[in-house]
Amino acid sequence: MSYARQLLDTYPATINVDADLSEQNLTEMVTCIRLCLDCADVCTATIAVTSRQASYDASVTRPLLQACVAICKSCGDECERHAQMHEHCRVCEQACRRCEQACRELLAALK
């Protein structure tokens, strides 16, 4: 099952694209929300650049992968703090850890 499906399945009411924004204590989730949005943006850019079927420029690819590792670690750590209270944070943490590891492996392959 995809992480997106798992996240959607954690929401108890009408489906909302961002489960964090639907939490009752929103002020506690501000950092988590920001990191999740940043993580999604960086991961999207990273997959777009690394999945092109053309030669790559390591001076661009390497820092992008490093940024992806950093944001996935930060987001995963933050989501881990909320994972016992919010199922969507548990799922997000798992996705972040998996992406972080994949980017680390790609970085190792570039060396």
Structure confidence by residue, pLDDT tens digits, 67-85: 999 999 999 999 999 999 8
Q: What is the domain range of residue 53? A: 3-110
Cβ atoms of residues 99 and 72 within 8 Å: yes
Is pLDDT above 90 for 17? no
Residue owning tokens 């661009």: 60
How high does pLDDT run on average in the chain?
87
Is pLDDT above 80 for 15? no
Predicted model pTM: 0.80
Number of domains in the chain: 1
Cβ atoms of residues 16 and 22 within 8 Å: yes
Q: For residue 5, give the 3-state DSSP assignment.
A: helix
Q: For residue 83, give the 3-state DSSP assignment.
A: coil
